[in-house]
Structure 1
Amino acid sequence: MATASYLKRLTRRLTEDLGDADAASIAQESRATGAQRASECCRGDEVTMHGELRAVETCSRNAKAGVKAEFFDGTDTVYLKWLGRNRIPGIEPGRKMTVRGRLGEHDGNKVIYNPYYELYGSDD
């Protein structure tokens, strides 16, 4: 009987979408830190979230100079924008971090401008 449930769990893990498994792992880690879930936050909220950077891009156009990052906490995506910066050491795809700031909205997406952040190493 225990073998049947083991086989079900193993089959589910082998056949599930890697993106879903990754999202569940990040969401579980975020809950463990006590951070807020991006999916439950709305514009104007002062938030603290824990998650992972999925993509980072630098914008060097005059009016929109800065660094833009896609932050994912396992429930939703929030864009982080640091204005007036060309590059920020440590802000790179795959880095785990905790961010804090006021949640806004731009073009229908959640965004935090110039968030406070704490980076975690790969072994944290």
Structure 2
Amino acid sequence: MSGYEHTCMIRGDGGRTIRTILDRICDKWTLLVVATLDRKRLRFTDLQRQIPGVSQRMLTRTLRNLERDGLVSRTVYAEVPLRVEYALTGTGQSLIPPALALAEWAIKHIPDIEASRAAYEERADSAE
């Protein structure tokens, strides 16, 4: 029995909880937000500037979900204009090492993956 199967049996939910957490972490923007907040607090506009391509709507949604899941804290300062800063919680910080390991794996295997994709496309084109 794999570790995943064992975990699913312990929770008794068929892996639903694990899938929802992994869905959040593997979301298109989550790892970029987490990596950007590593070791620093940032305001929304600073975050948006540092994450190329993220829309205001998607960043807002991602931050809300991360706050809901306890990975990001949101601090509001009673100033005029209102100042809001985001930072990783301890749980969010604990995501940095596995995220970096995954990124390093991707970088290491880019040539193999690109070669496989090209070979696949070539086979698919010749089959048509």
Mark yes or no: TM-score above 0.5: no
Scaled by the length of structure 1, the TM-score of the pair is: 0.29
Q: Of Structure 1 and Structure 2, which has the larger fraction of its residues in helix?
A: 2
Instruction: Compare the two structures and name the one with the higher strand fraction.
Output: 1
